[in-house]
Chain A
Amino acid sequence: MKKEQQIDLYHQMVLIRRLEERGAELYQQGKIGGFMHLYIGQEAVSTGLIAAREPRDRVITAYRDHGVALNCGIPANEIMAELLGKSTGMSKGKGGSMHMADTSKNMWGGHAIVGGHLPIASGFAIGDQYAGNDNITICMFGEGATNIGYFHEALNIAKTWGLRVLWVCENNQYGMGTTVERASAISEIHLKAEAYGMKNSRVDGMDVMKVYDAAKEALDYVRKNSQPYLLEITTYRFRGHSMGDPERYRKQEEVKKWEESDPIGIFRKQLIEKKTATAKALDEIDTQAEEEIVKAVEFAEASPEPAMEDLFKNIYADTE
């Protein structure tokens, strides 16, 4: 990968981190409501993955979607505005944290019913197959979502019909407070694809370059063979499941241990060791990301609330 692109990936990861940290503060101040799930610790997953897609490839994910939205090219301003429920948010303040989509960026949403978006991802691929193009749908979900029927129905139809879907399981070890082992018959999630005769693999999600390479390979396979693929990316969330999670189910030592493999720290070290960038250059990127998020908050706070008549807008597409 070119030097500039690597540095851009670093920038994206730091930007996600800062966005999430500021988001958490605003939540605590009561400016953000509802459920908010942070991506801190998982930045390398969507950053490496989305970098490997063609712009024509569609992305769909679950409610832990701020990072994915940024990686897909949705401006931080709009993400922050949506978090604050403003009319300038990409979902016009109606969706909130869990429902960020911008179809012009081929980001088809955060979806909050666990597993519910998997059959929809198959549907995107059915639509694209019908249209006769070779677009790929990249469908991201947690390991907890692989225990619900939706997952199995979606994978089965994808393999049976030869649909171009890259299924991406972000295995962050927990579904809320339940470990993989307590909820899933097997903890190597990618092996579930074997039941459907589907190609699959597993990659370390704390290393953005490894994620990128694995995603590239999987996407190539899907595009060439017109077959789905299940890629499991192992990772860990450093914060609670959502804001206000008392985290009684795990020990702080465990979190500390994982924090040693902070994806941003790992990538930073790699970039410096390989002389792709100097520490100073990376520090500048850190500062720049910080400023971008400060501006995004300013933009969001200054943005107008949706108008009262917006309540009744977009209930139906037919206006008459």
Chain B
Amino acid sequence: MPKITIREAISQALMEEMDRDPKVFIMGEEVGVWGGAYAVTKGFYDKYGAARIKDTPIAENAIIGGAIGAAMVGQRPVAELMTINFGFSAMDYIVNQAPKLHYMFGGQFTLPLVIRAVGGGGRQLGATHSQTPDAIFAHFPGLKVVSPGTPEDAKGLLKSAIRSNDPVLFLEHATMYQVRGEVPEGDFTIPIGKSKVQREGKDVTIVTYCKGLELSMKAAEDLSKEGIEVEVVDLRTLRPLDMEPVIESFKKTNRAVVVEEGWKSYGVGSEIVSRIYEEAFDYVDAPIIRVAQKEVPLPYNRTLEQAALPQVADIVAAVKEVLK
């Protein structure tokens, strides 16, 4: 299998779906002539032209509201938010319209719409440009929230998202576009709403996704050298959430650490931990620990920013703690 980057995987998924289905088009800021702020759609404008690669004004409501409308009348738009932080400017459309319209009108129309957005900290962009607000979007029934951590998942899940008849928020991470991994050749999809064991182990279960996966896999390597074998379960989709592989793993290890880049309070980890306690309380051998971002808006200064973000060492320490 060829090894490609997450950037290439996403780019391939978009191209293949555009080639497969003429209803698919892309709209967003700087997706065309510029080639995408993160170079994901580089070359698309020359290949597909302005009608299918739409450079929009800086107008997030027009982008997301527009994509919702186009989807309602039968197209399959992929709307790009330059970053998820700018999604807050279109919050009403993302959480108050897209997830509701199909339901509220008794299923009369569908919203086959994808919102791609990059998020994450670690690039010294300051507090308003560095967020990992995944959890708040996952709060809303009616919206599907996907956030892959490997090239294979990025490609397969984005293809599923584009083929889905529901609105899907597809969250990428700004520091992961160069992450490489094997990706099957040819057309394939990965189902939305399926968690996956990315590494097997018997001692502790780490539950994570996206950036947390990258960090957790590194922590797992380090721990393995000390004879501790962790099992890493990658959620891949935050809503609908698939707890089965998590519970199965937990029943084997009886100990868990949950890793996410967003803030700890009211976060993804809060949900996962409660679900484990609800569904597998009898198997708990140690309090579950959450590794997450410190409860501060992210600062510009590099040292402070890194201190606020979860690190591999934090995961290693948490795993040792639950083993005590």
Give 26 CB contacts A-B under 8 Å.
A33-B123, A34-B124, A34-B129, A85-B124, A85-B301, A85-B302, A93-B299, A93-B304, A95-B126, A99-B126, A147-B57, A148-B60, A176-B34, A177-B30, A177-B33, A178-B33, A182-B55, A183-B58, A184-B57, A249-B33, A305-B301, A306-B303, A311-B296, A311-B307, A312-B294, A312-B296
Closest 3 CB pairs of A and B: A96-B300, A33-B124, A147-B57
Q: Which residues of B contact A48 (CB under 8 A)?
A: none
The complex places the Cα of A116 from the Cα of B89 at a distance, in Å, of: 9
Q: Does any Cβ of A come within 8 Å of B313's Cβ? A: no
The complex places the Cα of A315 from the Cα of B86 at a distance, in Å, of: 22
Q: Are A112 and B128 in contact (CB under 8 A)?
A: yes
The complex places the Cα of A315 from the Cα of B263 at a distance, in Å, of: 14
- Which residues of B line the A interface, CB within 8 A? 29-30, 33-35, 37, 55-61, 85-86, 88-89, 123-129, 294-297, 299-304, 307-308
Among the interface residues B29, B56, B58, B123, which one has the most CB atoms of the partner chain A within 10 A? B58
Q: Are A98 and B126 in contact (CB under 8 A)?
A: yes
Q: Does any Cβ of B come within 8 Å of A202's Cβ? A: no
Q: Which residues of B contact A248 (CB under 8 A)?
A: 33-35
Given contacts A116-B89, A148-B89, A311-B294, contact A93 B300 (CB under 8 A): yes
CB within 8 Å: A-B pair count: 113
Within 8 A of B (CB), among A33-68: 33-35
Q: Are B304 and A310 in contact (CB under 8 A)?
A: yes
- Which chain A residue lies CB-closest to B61? A149
Q: Does any Cβ of B come within 8 Å of A228's Cβ? A: no
Q: Does any Cβ of B come within 8 Å of A203's Cβ? A: no
Interface string of A92-109 (1 = CB under 8 A from B): 011110110000000000
Q: What's the dominant secondary structure at chain B's contact region? A: loop
Q: Which residues of B contact A91 (CB under 8 A)?
A: 300
- Which chain A residue lies CB-closest to B82? A176
Q: Does any Cβ of B come within 8 Å of A115's Cβ? A: yes
The complex places the Cα of A157 from the Cα of B37 at a distance, in Å, of: 33
- Which chain A residue lies CB-closest to B303? A305
Interface string of A284-320 (1 = CB under 8 A from B): 0000000000000000000001101011100100000
Given contacts A112-B129, A113-B85, A248-B33, contact A95 B59 (CB under 8 A): no
Q: Which residues of A contact B86 (CB under 8 A)?
A: 113-114
CB distance from A184 to the nearest CB of B (A): 7
Q: Which residues of A contact B58 (CB under 8 A)?
A: 114-115, 144-145, 147-148, 175, 183
Q: Which residues of B contact A85 (CB under 8 A)?
A: 124, 300-302
The complex places the Cα of A317 from the Cα of B33 at a distance, in Å, of: 44
The complex places the Cα of A115 from the Cα of B129 at a distance, in Å, of: 14
CB distance from B50 to the nearest CB of A (A): 9
Q: Are B304 and A176 in contact (CB under 8 A)?
A: no
- Which chain B residue lies CB-closest to A84? B301
The complex places the Cα of A85 from the Cα of B124 at a distance, in Å, of: 10
The complex places the Cα of A133 from the Cα of B17 at a distance, in Å, of: 59
Q: Which residues of A contact B302 (CB under 8 A)?
A: 33, 85
- Which chain B residue lies CB-closest to A113? B128
- Which chain A residue lies CB-closest to B35? A248
The complex places the Cα of A16 from the Cα of B86 at a distance, in Å, of: 29
Q: Which residues of A contact B29 (CB under 8 A)?
A: 176, 178
- Which chain A residue lies CB-closest to B294? A311
Q: Are A315 and B34 in contact (CB under 8 A)?
A: no
- Which chain B residue lies CB-closest to A313? B296
Given contacts A85-B300, A114-B58, A148-B57, contact A96 B35 (CB under 8 A): no
12 extra A-B contacts, CB within 8 A, seeds A177-B30, A315-B297: A34-B125, A94-B301, A96-B126, A98-B126, A144-B57, A145-B58, A147-B59, A175-B58, A183-B55, A183-B56, A311-B294, A311-B304
CB distance from B179 to the nearest CB of A (A): 20
The complex places the Cα of A130 from the Cα of B33 at a distance, in Å, of: 46
CB distance from B131 to the nearest CB of A (A): 12
Q: Are B34 and A94 in contact (CB under 8 A)?
A: no
Partner of B123, one of A34, A144, A149, A305: A34
- Which chain B residue lies CB-closest to A182? B55
The complex places the Cα of A182 from the Cα of B50 at a distance, in Å, of: 11
Given contacts A148-B89, A312-B296, A315-B296, contact A178 B30 (CB under 8 A): yes
Q: Which residues of A contact B34 (CB under 8 A)?
A: 176-178, 248-249
Q: Which residues of B contact A183 (CB under 8 A)?
A: 55-58
The complex places the Cα of A268 from the Cα of B140 at a distance, in Å, of: 59
- Which chain B residue lies CB-closest to A249? B33
CB distance from A89 to the nearest CB of B (A): 9
The complex places the Cα of A260 from the Cα of B60 at a distance, in Å, of: 36
The complex places the Cα of A306 from the Cα of B302 at a distance, in Å, of: 10
